[in-house]
């Protein structure tokens, strides 16, 4: 299974970016998906998550600015980021909890390689 992120880049404060992630491989079912980020010198933190039935959860500082969504048939997860601030600068990682074919109900966590988001003041 591979997760691949696209859509990162550099924007000015107040701008927008949309991150996309697609899971591919021997996938039976994708449970939770989400986005995490890690800024230089800081620990990785949760940005937003979405369950297989559409329940979402956001980091307090991104509520009302970021929106997470899923493409269930395509095994994709997107993160629409609006009103970006310099403190949103980080490497963003896609996450998926996946049940592989032949594994019964046992799920495994997978991560994308990460994509850079830079917001300048």
The per-residue pLDDT for range 27-72, each reduced to its tens digit, is 999 999 999 999 999 999 999 999 999 999 999 999 999 999 999 9
pLDDT tens sequence across 23-32: 999 999 999 9
How far, in whole angstroms, is CA 112 from its chain's centroid? 9
Kindly report, residue by residue over 82-92, the tens digit of the pLDDT.
999 999 999 99
Residue 34's Cα: distance from chain center in Å? 4
Over its C-alpha atoms, the chain yields an Rg (Å, rounded) of 14
* DSSP letters for the chain: -EEEEE--EEEETT--EEEEEEEESSEEEEEEEEEEEE-TTS--EEEEEE-TT--EEE-GGGTTTEEEEEETTTTEEEEEE-S--GGG-EEEEEEEEEEETTSTT-EEEEE---EEEEEE-
Tell me what the mean pLDDT of segment 12-17 comes to. Answer: 98
For residue 22 the two structure tokens come to 């697609």
Token pair belonging to 2? 């591979």
């Amino acid at each position: 299974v591979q997760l691949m992120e696209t859509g990162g880049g550099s924007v000015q404060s107040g701008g927008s970016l949309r991150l996309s992630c697609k899971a591919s491989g021997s996938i039976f079912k994708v449970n939770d998906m989400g986005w995490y980020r890690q800024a230089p010198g800081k620990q990785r933190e949760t940005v937003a998550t979405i369950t297989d039935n559409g329940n979402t959860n956001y980091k307090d500082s991104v509520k009302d600015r970021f929106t997470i969504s899923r493409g269930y048939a395509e095994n994709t997860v997107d993160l629409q980021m609006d009103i970006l601030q310099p403190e949103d600068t980080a490497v963003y990682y896609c996450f998926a909890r996946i049940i592989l074919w032949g594994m019964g109900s046992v799920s495994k966590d997978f991560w994308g390689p990460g994509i850079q988001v830079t917001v300048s003041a």
